[in-house]
Amino acid sequence: MSYPQTGSEVFVSFSLSNTMFSGIGKGTITREDVSVDYLKNLFAKYGVIVSAKPEQRRLLELVNTGYDLHLEIPEKLKLIQLSEKHRRIVLVSVQGLKRVNGSLLPSYTEEEFGEATFSFVKYYVQTRHYDELVAENEKLRRELDMEIAWRNRVSEI
């Protein structure tokens, strides 16, 4: 399966850094655990760009084999930064492998790779800040309450 090139591709990575989010400006980030079926639909609609170190090649192969995601395995690390067009990043979370200071090791044995399990988390950056969304929600709530009060009024005759 080949994913489209849309100009609004979803980024995929094994780690997050603050620099990935610096290109988007002020906004609200939502985090959501997602299924493989959801990812396949998301990637089919927007396309995908993988950011992985060369030593993470085997992890990507395991993800592709285990979940049939058909992610491109880059030859070198592609640095990514969210922007107005690229608002989504999917973190491939790896459990069951030893780490040093929270980071994956440069290599593992096939037996260790056999212990690895994966899950997927989507981060999405909205252009509107959370405080703006809360204020708008409060305004809409007041308007709705006024409309309900108007419809439920009782005439005193």
> What is the token pair recorded at 116?
């690895």
pLDDT in tens, 80-125: 888 877 889 999 999 999 888 888 888 888 999 999 999 999 999 8
CA distance 139 to 117: 45
Q: What is the mean pLDDT of residues 75-79?
A: 89
Q: How far is CA 28 from CA 33, 130, 132, in A?
A: 17, 5, 10
CA distance 26 to 129: 6
> What whole-number percentage of the chain has pLDDT above 70?
97
Q: What is the mean pLDDT of residues 50-55?
A: 90
| pTM for the model | 0.76
